[in-house]
Amino acid sequence: MPRRSSLPSLILPLLLTFFYSLFAAAQAKPVDAEGHQWWQHAVFYEVYPRSFADSNDDGVGDLNGISSKMSYLQELGVDAIWITPCYPSPQIDFGYDVADYRNIDPMYGTLADFDRMVAEGRKHHVRIILDFVPNHTSDQHPWFLDSKSSRTAPHRDWYIWRDGKGPGQPPNNWISGFGGSAWTLDPTTNQYYYHFFYAQQPDLNWRNPAVEKEMLDTTRWWYKRGVSGFRLDAVDTLFEDPALHDNPVLPGTNAQGDPNIENKNNQYFPEVHQVLQKLRKVADESGAVLIGETWTANIADLDRYYGQGDNELQMPMDFMFTSVDKLSPPEFRSQIAAVNGAHGWPVFVISNHDIPRSYNRYGDGKNNDAIAKLMGAFYLTLRGTPIMYYGEEIGMENNDPTRKEDVKDPIGRTGWPQEKGRDGERTPMQWNTAPNAGFSKKDPWLPVPPSYQTHNVATESKDPNSVLNLYKKVLALRHTNQALLEGSYIALNEDDPNVMSYLRSYRGKTVLVALNMSASPKKTIFNLSQQGFGRANLKSLIASPEASAKGNEITLEPFGLLIAEVTQ
């Protein structure tokens, strides 16, 4: 017999809903007179959960590990962490193959650990952003297991199934981003299913309203659990041509040995914008933020991801900035000008779990620490929101495998030696000088590089000139200086091939940033009369190494940087 509901059990959900709506309303409020939202003032930090902190010493990081590092993150100056997928998963693509969107992989903990992490985050003013993988599931997801079981299964149309062109021939010439055909034949029903990525990551059919509903509801479910937003994985790939036209074939082959192909008919379909608008509506119910993994070739495409009425992604990432892969002031200037010309708020990234670490990409092998400081001072003082990558703040370097048999990332095995995979940028966070950099007592899933002896949190905390302390100083300034939080961006000395410099200016407060991107000392003079400074005086706020400023003239050491207040 059903039990009669007791009064507390009726009141509790009502109370929870009431407090949740108060919390949501507070999240959505602008934080300043400029109408900026919380995420425009926040500093984001990407955590790769396998590699951040291992609380149970099994060699793989976990949620309790992340919880234990909240005070580190707060002291560093981080306001929100984006955790790459931590849902149950066979881990073929290290979590980007999701087998259940509403749970936590036992390797990382439990939903109770997740709730504790959110609570711990709140105590330290660190919000939690999860990674949402809308394009595909794992082939072990119950939806796919059902889908492949028969042509009439309830979930058959949740994925993309087609007959081959003929015996042994896939439906068309589309190539998976991770190598080989984008189609795999499933013998049970003798049809092919489509996968933009690995065969173990079948693409969901977003033209099916049931898929859309389930996915939207899933995001709402997590918001109610305390998540402040999502990073949306691979949004470019959500839709494809239903008529399955072949893609144009280009000359040559790629690292996986496949013909080069232009993804004309399976990427960048306009239908994605309707989905983003719907995801945004749900996000807006909670004042949450949507960050996009938006690999675009130009600013017009990036601009579209904000939505015509600012009703899609608040934070599409500008990966064109990461593709300026050398210390080139002219190239950075033109990329910043372009992104400032888009109608949304810029989002800057210099590293992530898919690209080699910035320490190596920009480093010259001799001055890497100075260059790491320079790059930190650069993108953390631009107009926009930065997303850091764990370990960047201590100058962590890539640790690429040297033997094929050590490679964990499948694309590194199939593409060896041309493509070594992404293991190198995913190694454990370097906490101290203990074995395995203090990450775990057990050998970690990926080895730490020998440089952990000098580049780790404990050692660098004690050194006032470390990369870590420079990051801390810049982040502290960024949180308190109105010009850096709100100010416009004005490029200076635009013909200078070596020193990248700009002003950030807001209501009479002006900060000048000057970055010597060359290996020799540089003297630079700033004429700021156009900016209303007859005789500008520069007062150093942060310099590395010490930089001399006389009036409006400065001298920077090789790869030196200066952040200064400008006064009359």
Q: Which residues are catalytic?
A: 233, 285
Residue 46 found at the interface with ligand NOJ (CB under 6 A):
no
> Please, are residues 306 and 343 in contact by the beta-carbon 8 Å criterion?
yes
Q: Which of residues 67-96 bind ligand NOJ (CB under 6 A)?
A: 93, 96
Give least dist CB 85 to ligand NOJ, A: 8
Cis peptide before 417, with omega less than 30 degrees from 0?
A: yes
**Element (DSSP H or E) covering residue 540:** strand 537-544
Q: Which is nearer to ligand NOJ, 286 or 352 (CB)?
A: 352
Give least dist CB 295 to ligand NOJ, A: 9
Q: Which is nearer to ligand NOJ, 38 or 94 (CB)?
A: 94
Q: Which of residues 109-138 bind ligand NOJ (CB under 6 A)?
A: 133
Give least dist CB 93 to ligand NOJ, A: 5
Per-residue DSSP letter, 237: G
From the list 190, 270, 274, 204, the residue with the least C-alpha distance to 233 is 204
Those residues whose C-beta lies under 8 Å from the C-beta of residue 112, and which sit 6 or more positions away, are: none
Those residues whose C-beta lies under 8 Å from the C-beta of residue 387, and which sit 6 or more positions away, are: 44, 45, 46, 82, 291, 317, 347, 348, 349, 352
Q: Which residue is nearest to ligand NOJ (CB)?
A: 96
- Distances in Å between the alpha carbon of 358 and those of 94, 101, 389? 22, 31, 9
Provide the mask over 194-233, with x wherever binding to ligand NOJ is found by CB under 6 A and - wherever it is not: ---x-----------------------------------x
Quick check: helix, strand or coil at residue 352? strand
Q: Are strands 161-162 and 249-253 parallel, antiparallel or unpaired?
A: unpaired
Q: Which of residues 326-355 bind ligand NOJ (CB under 6 A)?
A: 353-354
Give least dist CB 403 to ligand NOJ, A: 22
Give least dist CB 160 to ligand NOJ, A: 16
Q: Which of residues 269-308 bind ligand NOJ (CB under 6 A)?
A: 293
Q: What are the backbone dihedrals phi and psi of residue 482, each rounded to the nearest 5 degrees, phi first? A: -60, -40
Residue 234 found at the interface with ligand NOJ (CB under 6 A):
yes
Q: Which of residues 382-411 bind ligand NOJ (CB under 6 A)?
A: none
Give least dist CB 96 to ligand NOJ, A: 3
**Sign of the Cα pseudo-torsion (9, 10, 13, 16, in order):** negative
Give least dist CB 498 to ligand NOJ, A: 34
Give least dist CB 233 to ligand NOJ, A: 5
> Which residue type, as a one-letter code, is found at position 61?
G
Residue 113 tokens read as: 């650990």
Residue 3: HSE in the Cβ half-sphere, 13 Å Cα cutoff: 5
Q: Which is nearer to ligand NOJ, 198 or 471 (CB)?
A: 198
d(CA 435, CA 451): 12
Q: Which is nearer to ligand NOJ, 321 or 489 (CB)?
A: 321
- Distances in Å between the alpha carbon of 81 and those of 64, 78, 85, 188, 439? 14, 7, 12, 42, 19
Q: Which is nearer to ligand NOJ, 293 or 400 (CB)?
A: 293
Provide the mask over 93-112, with x wherever binding to ligand NOJ is found by CB under 6 A and - wherever it is not: x--x----------------
Q: Which is nearer to ligand NOJ, 182 or 483 (CB)?
A: 182
Q: At what angle do helices 209-224 and 271-285 cross, to 10 degrees?
A: 30
Q: Which is nearer to ligand NOJ, 292 or 363 (CB)?
A: 292
- Distances in Å between the alpha carbon of 543 and those of 43, 367, 484? 21, 16, 16
Those residues whose C-beta lies under 8 Å from the C-beta of residue 352, and which sit 6 or more positions away, are: 46, 387, 389, 425
> Please, are residues 547 and 556 in contact by the beta-carbon 8 Å criterion?
yes
Give least dist CB 48 to ligand NOJ, A: 9
Q: Which is nearer to ligand NOJ, 383 or 426 (CB)?
A: 426
Q: Which is nearer to ligand NOJ, 387 or 554 (CB)?
A: 387
Helices (H), 69-156: 70-76, 111-123, 142-147
Residue 321 found at the interface with ligand NOJ (CB under 6 A):
no
d(CA 395, CA 357): 9
From the list 100, 190, 109, the residue with the least C-alpha distance to 151 is 190
Q: Which residues bind ligand NOJ (CB under 6 A)?
A: 93, 96, 133, 197, 233-234, 293, 353-354
